[in-house]
Structure 1
Amino acid sequence: MVLGEDSPLPGSAADVEDLVRLLRGHVAQLGARTPPGTPALLRTQQLCSDSLPEGFIPSRVYLVRLAEATQELMAHVERGGPGPISVESGRRWRKPTVNVLRGAVFALALACLVFAASVPRT
């Protein structure tokens, strides 16, 4: 919402505060998935700990900087940067795509049809 080329800057101070609160919530969620001491996390947390500046231009500049830092942190998490230590030591399965699920359902239905056709009628 903040970094889009066609996105207008928020007009009121309340809108800026709402967006900053939303971005800080995203940082908290992403921070849980990022190991402590990661440079992207430290930069973003430093921005989050700063107070929202007074004035129209400084508050919008802060909002954009926070959005860029959050986006950088999100890219780090999506790239598969090292995550927090997990308790589970099993293999993590990827979520199958819709077409894989459709194929599995079709194969199961076909197998049921073949089985039903092979059973003798009485």
Structure 2
Amino acid sequence: MLGEDSPLPDTAADVEDLALRLRGHVSQLGALTPSQEPALLRAQQLCSGGLPDGYMPSRVHLVRLAEATQDLIAAVQAHDVAPAKSVQRRRWWKPPINVLRGAVFALALACVVLAASVPRT
């Protein structure tokens, strides 16, 4: 977004989409940053305001929001906060139906063979 070669968004919908994405990034980074961090407060202040009307004011707001997001990233890296790892539940292997049928057949056959091998009294 802030690269020299990257063009400004053309439509108002593009501006709204980018602003929404940057607000999402700010909220995610805000969880990793101390609450009194100046970069976080600036980014939250920019996010709380609405998108200005007009071509240039909306693009300027978008650039400021992107700069605030970059400052927030730098603040998170400066505080050396590791991102929280999500807890993953163990997924059990779900066998195909034919494997289950084969296992049931093998168990039944083993029971028949065992029953046949027991001497009769």
TM-score, normalised relative to structure 2: 0.65
Gaps of 5+ in 1: 87-122
Q: Secondary structure at the match of 1:66?
A: helix
Q: Secondary structure at the match of 2:51?
A: coil
CA contact (8 A) 1:40 1:69 kept: yes
User: What is the rounded CA distance, in whole Å, between the counterparts of 1:75 and 1:34 in structure 2?
Assistant: 10
The number of residues matched between the two structures is 83
Q: Secondary structure at the match of 2:33?
A: coil
The residue that corresponds to 1:78 in the other structure is 77
Q: Secondary structure at the match of 1:9?
A: coil
The residue that corresponds to 2:61 in the other structure is 62
The one-letter code matched in structure 1 to 2:77 is: E
User: What is the rounded CA distance, in whole Å, between the counterparts of 1:39 and 1:83 in structure 2?
Assistant: 16
User: What is the rounded CA distance, in whole Å, between the counterparts of 1:63 and 1:20 in structure 2?
Assistant: 6
The one-letter code matched in structure 2 to 1:51 is: G
User: What is the rounded CA distance, in whole Å, between the counterparts of 2:4 and 2:48 in structure 1?
Assistant: 27
User: What is the rounded CA distance, in whole Å, between the counterparts of 1:83 and 1:45 in structure 2?
Assistant: 19
The residue that corresponds to 1:24 in the other structure is 23
CA contact (8 A) 1:16 1:59 kept: yes
The residue that corresponds to 1:52 in the other structure is 51
Partner deviation per Cα, 1:72-119 (whole Å, 9 max, x = no partner): 00011112x1659x9xxxxxxxxxxxxxxxxxxxxxxxxxxxxxxxxx
The one-letter code matched in structure 1 to 2:43 is: T
The one-letter code matched in structure 2 to 1:49 is: S
**Which protein has the larger Cα radius of gyration, Structure 1 or Structure 2?**
2
Gaps of 5+ in 2: 85-121
The residue that corresponds to 1:40 in the other structure is 39
TM-score, normalised relative to structure 1: 0.65
Following superposition, the deviation at residue 56 of structure 1 comes to 0.2
Displaced runs of 4 or more, over 3 A: none
CA contact (8 A) 1:35 1:82 kept: no
User: What is the rounded CA distance, in whole Å, between the counterparts of 2:10 and 2:23 in structure 1?
Assistant: 20
